[in-house]
Amino acid sequence: MALLRGVFIVAAKRTPLGAFGGLLKDFSATDLSEFAARAALSAGKVSPETVDSVVVGNVIQTSSDAIYLARHVGLRVGVPTESPALTVNRLCGSGFQAVVSGCHEICVKDAEIVLCGGTESMSQAPFCVRNIRFGTKFGSEPQLEDTLWASLKDQHVQLLMGITAENLASQNKISREDCDRYALQTQQRWKAANDAGYFNNEMAPIEVKTKKGKQTVQVDEHPRPQTTLEQLAKLPPVFKKEGTVTAGNASGVCDGAGAIILASEDAVKKHNLSPLARVVGYFVSGCDPTIMGIGPVPAIKGALKKAGLSLKDMDLVEVNEAFASQYLAVQKGLDLDPSKTNVNGGAIALGHPLGASGLRITTHLVHELSAAAAAAYFGPFCSVSRRTASETKYVRTEPHAGPLSGVGVESTPWDRRASEAARASRSSSRTQPDREEPATATLAARGPATVTR
């Protein structure tokens, strides 16, 4: 839907993404969400006492307090006791759903400022034994279940997520070589962006204790930028003989969290907040669960139609890389421009902490837009079992004579001249699409560009 009330993102932060069993393994999903929330509140100069509601996305309830995770995060960071909280689960789109739910609360005037988050500790996913609470039959053996592995299977159609990606590869004639080449590209793009400091402004460093003492984690742990095409080609298919999906061209199991602060226009003026972006609209669509990763195609089309825009109007597009074959199927289905899609790498490099990835994408693109003066972006997401959440966000960093001093934001149709100038600014600060070499300009060193009429 297109939002009828102004909803602004005034802060966006995320933790580094930790590898499975890596440096962040001892932090619960609640802990990780708290880190991100504190960083966002501080960055946006938002007092916790002004937060009217908390919404956090989480998929696998991996800790004993996760049953009401959002409430615990809010109380930990100082949100008033009377402010309600909501934990949402739209599987891989849970982080996006937290933003959508926050927008709902502001649009119906249930809240003026909402703390939105997404978090996941996949390293802490427990093993469990089902159906033994009231005893077992004589001679039966209780089965130990890996809840992490179980979460990666659609129990309705009895398919692992990797098989749905193989189905897309078969339908779209995507080869193993295509997948490996794309996986290499996303690793190289992440390295170029990281070397250029493109993630600095969004990152909330975490201090961890190791055998060698305390260590500050401020870089994503999962990427393997030294990977070569030859190494990728040697990896065996995981889900299907002669298949396309390998450990090297699929997203990684990870830990991490993100948080953004949403505010109404009234709250922005009242508390003197600085908007980074405006949420224009969103769209949620279902798709065939046997090819669940194609979901971004109908979701993006629906969001564009609602907003009165086209993909040609987008300066940046992000599609979650659950699997290389899944991404390539979406790219083909939408005829996406590779030069402005996942330009700084995606989940194959960074990892995919289920409930956090929507916030990771949102946080990164908010900062990327501000620094590169881009005019609009999409952050579409594929979700397990028939659902896809897709958000459209739009920001224009130009002087504005309206009620929000210093930042002009409007919905559709946007000013074409602003869009063209934004693209020119972005083009001058980027390398070629393959991004094999580090980009010359750094986001950390650049402020928002000014677009004049």
CATH class of the structural domain 7-125+251-436: alpha beta
Tell me the C-alpha to C-alpha distance, in Å, between residue 254 and each of 53, 68, 120, 127, 197: 27, 22, 8, 17, 22
Per-residue pLDDT for 374 more than 80? no
Please say if 254 is a catalytic residue.
no
Cβ-based neighbour number of residue 289 at 10 Å: 16
Q: At which residue do the structure tokens 């994503």 appear?
A: 220
Are 346 and 271 a contacting pair, CB within 8 Å?
A: no
- Which of the following is catalytic: 92, 103, 179, 287? 92
Domain boundary assignment for the chain? 7-125+251-436
- Which of the following is catalytic: 116, 179, 254, 382? 382
pLDDT tens by residue, 168-220 = 999 999 999 999 999 999 999 999 999 999 999 999 999 999 888 999 999 99
pLDDT tens by residue, 413-425 = 333 333 444 444 4
Which candidate, 188, 357, 163, places its Cα nearest to that of 257?
Answer: 357
Q: What percent of the chain has pLDDT over 90?
A: 73
Please say if 382 is a catalytic residue.
yes
Which candidate, 354, 352, 285, places its Cα nearest to that of 94?
Answer: 354
Mean per-residue pLDDT for 64-92?
96
Per-residue pLDDT for 450 more than 50? no
